[in-house]
A and B are shown apart, each in its own frame.
Chain A
Amino acid sequence: MQNMQLPKDMNPVWLAQSRLRRRKFDESLKISSALLEKNPYDQAVWFLKTRALTLKNWIDDVEIEEEGIADILMDENQIAQVPRPGTSMGATVNTSGGMPSQAVRPMTSSGRPVTGFARPGTGSARPTTSAMGRAGLTSSSGLAAQQALLDQALRSGNASNRPGTSRPVTSSGRFVRLGTASLLTQVGGPFIDVERLDLRKYAARPLLARALCDYIIYNDHNMKKALELCAHATQTNEFQDWWWKARLGKCYYQLGLLRDAEKQFKSSVQAQPMILSTLELCKIYLRMDQPNTAIEHYLAALVTHPDEVSLLLALARVHDALHEGEKAIQLYKNVLFYDSSNVEAVACLASYHFYSDQPEIALRYYRRLLQMGVTSCELWNNLGLCCFYSGQYDMCLGCFERTLQLAADDALPDIWFNIGQVAIGIGDLNLAMQCFKIAISIDPHHTEAYNNLGVLEFRRGNDGSAMAQFRLGQKYSHLVFEVFYNAALLSFKNGDFQDSYEMTQKALALYPEHTETHELLKQLTTQFASL
């Protein structure tokens, strides 16, 4: 460390403290590291450095629900294998709850409509055999079925833009990755060698212990050591301190010991009803697939913390996951009543209104986001779509131009797909063709674009190439029913009834209430009967 040029007569410890308070972590670290070189036993500076490192690597893990493939398929935390409808988050498709149907609103995976707001771990459906839900796991040939499921999960969960979660899936990926990245920031190895510390000694000093505990959790991600420290500290506090209990719970949760974590959080909430502890407790219940218990806890917490926005939001998310759209929307509106600038609530309401045939209202919500200073390509894209569908043509293309300007590779295919939709709307089919082709050129797995291209090809009379597009689309996603239905229709037209029947079955599995598919099936069965 080079010596920092400090202003004259300024106490360096005070300066490091001030920098930490203003969240200038790197500068604070510089000063405290230099001071620690001079005097390694200065506890105040050690504390400052620990806090700075912790806060630098801190992530709000209440918001993170990374479920790797292993977590989803290998562990069996939920009790009921075949729960009653409405009591489980398992993807059982029911389009009740007053939400727009699949024919209107696109799906991320079977039975989960596209959300308006992506969080880390936005649980789309669990990768299982399509719409049979978790029941698939207990089918007759246990191991073979598991193997098949794993294969399917790995195939659909590749890091194209159709992953199972909103990030690439590994075993609780984010925690592992951040741990390695944080080590790079320090020259000459880690700051604290946790393995060599006598944790008992630290647990006796309340202030240092807390700082150290957070450091181990957020900076080293060494949950076992953190657990040890928490255990000693709760003992010294005679099991009275809610903060240590909550930290214990956090460690247990990240180690996957859900029942122990639940116990700790429960007693922590009893000792001191805090919002964060409640949120973490309910995260465990959701992980155990007990949404109704989570809802009860949220409601109980809302009595002690009336009008707390984060609780209302969490409640809304659970209802969303249970396909109770109406309730979720009501809750989002409640959130906006207390906090009119909540991005998640505004975005969810906006997408809901857009898909329930009220683009003007959606436009109002998105414009609110724009006023709040959100400028992302996704927002401009949504604004463009809302403008187009509510007939404000003067603004529409300007929005899309903005979008294209801001977009990077991950969002571009969807944007070109949307421009293609607009082109179809104005009847410029050549432009639409070009747009879908661009979308595919950027993302070769863009099933919706393949589907629309197929339809356009069919209009031109190129049945063969249309069929090829549908087949490609099916290959890359098992979740878009349109591709299967269109292929079935085309096969039927060409007289390939066997193929058509298979496609119809697949389409029905994805979207059971689709009337046209049923019509087609009826026609097919009469054909087969007459043979």
Chain B
Amino acid sequence: MADLLFDRSASQSNCWQDREIRFDVPLDTLDLRRGETLLDSLEYIEDTKGNNGDQGDLRVTNLRIMWISRKNKRTNISIGHNCVISINVRSAKSRLKGETQALYILTKLLNQRFEFIFTAIATSTDRLFSSVQSVFKAYDNSRLYRDMKLRGAVIADKELRLLPLEQVYSRVNGVWNLSAEQGNLGTFFISNVRVVWFANLAESFNVSIPYLQIKSVKIRDSKFGPALVIDTMPESGGYVLGFRIDPRETLDYVFKELSSLWQVFTNNPIFGVEFLIENMEKESQLKILASLKISDTEQDVEIVDTPHRGDHLASFYAEAPGKGMDRDPVFCPELGLAIEQLREGTTIDQLWSVL
């Protein structure tokens, strides 16, 4: 019974905000999800790569960067931090325009590379795009909160190395990992962010599963007897991890604890992105901003069709338009290296030579 209760559908807790790039989405998807907080908001930003010359606002949350047009809120972009490869700020100084800064974001999604260029139209302040960079840095440095990690350096001297916002709730000894034939004796750490198992004989044999990546927690019968089974999300590999804990009371207790912690986490996820806003005045302003739901501010007629990613997509390609996907890598005997498969009728020599 209990496992049915807690076997939620994936869609409820599935978090796409930091893993995808979406264009022109319905307005309700621009609202902050649970656990997402607005960290900074910049006004009068132009989306230059899209070439529409539109003014808009840039909003930075702990999961993504959103650009929303001022003229029509349906023109918008949502860029998840996880897709970002690099962020650069270039500034140009001139008497004509004052000092303007441009933000170059290079991203990658499903083998397609997109480039975004945001330009500040108003004369800049010195902290304009620095927040975007530092939020991304904070996101980049806190991946353990959100990603499953196999055989990482998460254990030191039989103790869990805690993340900044983490508290360990319980430690369970004598947990058998059922991934191998003979099983492995190890230890569970259950915290408010993740569950970690490591083998007693080899600390480097471990797994760290954040609640964000857990699809379901069940108790199932296996050939080793009743076992705790954790399914993970398809984007983190879709693993099925089985653990055997003796006796049965302990197993039930662990299952209950894990389920309730997972549920609490789902209601209010901790993404681990820590970012301090520089001045307090800004903070109060942001609170107001955060309380405004984007979709409430504009009574928009809901158009019922699948949210298609219109022709907008093409104008954001980082390379020349028309090259969407990378071709498969093959071995190139001339260079002795693996290269992307050449197009029909081209050779390495032709591509290299400019003459």
Q: Which residues of A contact B (CB under 8 A)?
A: 333, 336-337, 340, 346, 364-365, 368, 377, 398, 401, 405-409, 412, 438, 441-442
Apart from A340-B352, A398-B51, A409-B93, 5 more pairs, CB < 8 Å: A333-B355, A336-B353, A408-B93, A409-B95, A442-B95
Kindly provide the distance from the CB of A346 to the nearest chain B CB, expressed in whole angstroms: 6
Can you list 30 contacts pairing A with B, beta carbon distance less than 8 Å? A333-B355, A336-B354, A336-B355, A337-B353, A337-B355, A340-B353, A340-B354, A346-B354, A364-B354, A365-B354, A368-B354, A377-B92, A398-B51, A401-B51, A405-B48, A405-B92, A405-B102, A405-B117, A406-B90, A406-B92, A407-B94, A408-B93, A409-B93, A409-B94, A409-B96, A412-B94, A412-B96, A438-B96, A441-B96, A442-B94
**Could you tell me which residues of chain B, from 94 to 109, have a CB within 8 Å of some CB in chain A?**
94-96, 100, 102
Min distance, Cβ B350 to any Cβ of chain A, angstroms: 11
Residues from chain B with Cβ under 8 Å of A407 in the complex? 92, 94
CB of B119 within 8 A of chain A? yes
Interface of chain B residues 150 through 195 with chain A (CB within 8 A): none
A505 to B355, CA, bound (A): 43
- On whether A442 and B354 interact (CB within 8 A), knowing A405-B119, A406-B90, the answer reads no
A408 to B353, CA, bound (A): 33
Per the bound structure, the CA–CA distance linking A441 and B94 in Å amounts to 12
> Once bound together, how far apart are the Cα atoms of A368 and B351, in whole Å?
10
Question: Which of B51, B92, B93, B100 has the most chain A CB within a 10 Å cutoff?
Answer: B92
- The listed residue with most B CB atoms (<10 A of its CB), out of A333, A377, A408, is A408
B337 to chain A, nearest CB (A): 17
Nearest CB of chain B from residue A374's CB, rounded to whole Å: 13
- B92 and A408 within 8 A (CB): yes
A450 to chain B, nearest CB (A): 19
Q: In the complex, A74→B108 CA distance in Å?
A: 60
Across the A-B interface, give the 3 residue pairs with the lowest CB-CB distance, nearest first.
A409-B94, A368-B354, A340-B352
- Please report the C-alpha to C-alpha distance between residue A407 and residue B353 in the assembled complex, in whole angstroms: 30
Closest to B90 in A: A406
**Chain B nearest CB: distance from A196 CB in Å?**
44
Closest A residue by C-beta to B349 = A340
- Write out the residue numbers on chain B whose beta carbons fall within 8 Å of the beta carbon of A365: 354
Question: Would you give the shortest CB distance from A397 to chain B, in whole angstroms?
Answer: 10
Nearest CB to that of A342 among chain B residues? B354
Residues of B within 8 A of A409 (CB): 93-96
Contacts of B355 in A (CB 8 A): 333, 336-337
Bound Cα distance A346, B352 (Å): 13
A336 to B117, CA, bound (A): 33
Contacts of A401 in B (CB 8 A): 48, 51
Identify which of residues 113-127 in chain B touch chain A, using a CB-to-CB cut-off of 8 Å.
117, 119
Chain B nearest CB, measured from A235 CB (Å) = 49
Given contacts A340-B353, A368-B354, A405-B102, is CB(A442)–CB(B96) below 8 Å?
A: yes
Q: Please give me the residue from chain A that is nearest to B99 by CB atom.
A: A408
Which of A340, A368, A442: most chain B Cβ within 10 A?
A340
CB within 8 Å of A: which of B40-68? 48, 51
B6-30 CB contact bits vs A (8 Å, 1 = yes)? 0000000000000000000000000
A398 to B48, CA, bound (A): 10
For the complex formed, measure the closest distance between the CB of A386 and the CB atoms of chain B, giving whole angstroms: 14
A416's nearest neighbour on chain B, judged by CB, is B96
B354 cross-chain contacts in A, Cβ below 8 A: 336, 340, 346, 364-365, 368
Per-position contact with A for B116-141: 1 when CB-CB < 8 Å, else 0?
01010000000000000000000000
- Enumerate chain B residues within 8 angstroms of A337, measured Cβ to Cβ: 353, 355
Closest chain B residue, CB of each to CB of A438: B96
Give the distance in Å from the alpha carbon of A10 to the alpha carbon of B353 in the complex: 48
Contacts of A412 in B (CB 8 A): 94, 96
Determine the distance from Cα of A30 to Cα of B124 in the docked complex, in whole angstroms: 35
Query: CB-CB < 8 A to A333: which residues of B?
Result: 355
Interface residues of B in 286-335 (CB under 8 A from A): none
Alpha-carbon distance between A421 and B224 when the two chains are bound, in angstroms: 81
CB distance from A298 to the nearest CB of B (A): 22
